[in-house]
A = this chain, B = another copy of it.
Amino acid sequence: MRIVKERALMEDNPLHQILHPTSIAWAGASNNFQKMGTIQLLNLTKGGFKGAVYPIHPSEKTVLGLPAYRSARDLPEVPDLAVLVVPTRVVAPLMEDLGRRGVKRAIVTSGGFREMGPGGRRMEEELAEVAGRHGMRFVGPNCIGVINERCRLNTTFFPLRDEEPGTVGMASQSGTYVTQTQLYLKNRGIRFSKAISVGNEANIDVIDCMEYLAADEDTRAVLLYLEGIRRGRRFVEVARRIVKNKPVVALYVGGTEAGARSGTSHTGALAGDDGIYNGMLTQSGVLRAGSVEELYAWGITLASQPPMRGRRVCLLSHSGGPVTSMADACERAGLVLPVFSDGLQGRLRELLPATAAAANPVDLTFSIDQAVLAKDIPQRVLESNEVDGLIIHGIMGSSFREILARQLKDFIDVPIQFMEDIDHGLLGELVTFPQRYGKPVLCSSFMEREDNCTRYLQDHGIPVFYGPEKAVQAMAALARYGEMCRR
């Protein structure tokens, strides 16, 4: 019943058609590859989008090899969506034409509106008026576009990665955070389900997006980048309804004088006092990230891991430094490191070398037995009733091994592939633990995505952070989310 209702809500939402068009009219691309609009259209067509695409161009016969149409009137059918990447003054007249042709959904990438002061504000009002008159709903203006990985829809200037759709849905008042960050996210194993750059929010705003992403089945956590919210009361209403079923994380940067000033010239956002926003986010059950990095990191964590049922953490590593860094960070973040019972310590000691510490943190010291680190200890810890979550530092494979193999090549052959198969066998069990035990497992490593173990874990739902304290912060987010859900 709930699902049916959510689906109905979703299909009602103006974003549904914008994110699932079967045909798109595109104004502002040409055969000049110096132009943003051309690069955007290229990304759409080369990116695997299967629908019809109709370039609108006043003079060219074809655009990027596609037949072009001189105006909205000449389009061979009424497209589900129009994308406008045209000079500011042309936007409203073109929307008028599109409206008359029966187009109901649009994305306006063009800038030069409210963010430019009074003159731009008037043009934005005119644009909104035209759309209203024709019953059109649109994203933008002054936005970068949208991404729906599921149907390979990408209207931004940044190419899509050739991968499966992800689980993190994002609505952003900055286009950068859905485009330029693609490679950064790739290096951390994070993929979008949907992403929407909302721009000036003249028609569809970040709250509409949050509502849509909450109902979207591919999306398991909703991320918001905010410079300001106009409909504060509505934000709280919608967020409150959503958060117990789907976590929402927000980065709000308009709360300082400098942030507010910068935001105004960026998207004309109406920033407000940091304390008031903080209260609003807390009241709504939205987790507030402190940086772009945390926004994404907590997003993938909440999307992939069960919330903590308490605040008790086990730290596990063969590296004393990182566990000590994590222990310190845990206490600062309000997480608890219980000293394990004699019974559990006994069960762990059976697996540990003599020099190891079993009380929690569990420090294997010089042991390099991956099975102990990545499977046996985790299992015994998680099946106990003594912890609510586990952080492992130092699972690693190919990155160190390949360097070692080069050093060893005069003496022995290191069976790289064989060892990777063993890694993946062990990790194949570890990745099932969060669901099996209902407790989150996070990893920290200084071996990034070039390492087969890091890749395997990230690609199978265990976040791997490049820094021990980051894993702790993400675990603390799972604790806060768990507490919020139980309230």
Query: Which residues of A are in contact with B by a Cβ distance under 8 Å?
Result: 31, 33, 36, 39, 42-43, 46, 64-65, 111-112, 115-116, 158-159, 172-177, 180-181, 183-184, 187, 225, 227, 251, 253-259, 261-263, 265-267, 290-293, 315, 319-332, 337, 354-355, 357, 359, 361, 363, 365-366, 394, 396, 399-400, 403-404, 406-408, 410-412, 446-448, 450, 466-470
Contacts and interface: CB of A to CB of B under 8 A. Distances in A.
A291 B394 contact: no
A443 to B, nearest CB: 13
A184 B64 CA distance: 42
B293 A176 contact: no
B292 A325 contact: yes
A325 B290 CA distance: 10
Given A261-B327, A411-B33, A469-B292, A225 B174 contact: no
A439 B159 CA distance: 36
A176 B111 contact: no
Contact of A469 (B112, B291, B400): B291
A448 B183 contact: yes
Most B Cβ at <10 Å: residue of A115, A265, A315, A361: A265
Contacts of A469: 290-293
A201 to B, nearest CB: 14
Contact of A467 (B291, B328, B355, B403): B291
A404 B39 contact: yes
A446 B267 CA distance: 21
Contacts of A326: 262
A321 B176 contact: yes
Contacts of A227: 324
Contact of A328 (B175, B176, B259, B448): B259
Contact of A407 (B31, B46, B251): B46
Given A183-B447, A399-B183, A469-B292, A172 B258 contact: no
A363 B46 CA distance: 30
A468 B411 CA distance: 46
16 contacts: A42-B408, A176-B319, A183-B447, A183-B448, A225-B321, A253-B328, A255-B328, A256-B327, A258-B337, A261-B327, A261-B359, A262-B323, A262-B337, A291-B467, A291-B470, A292-B469
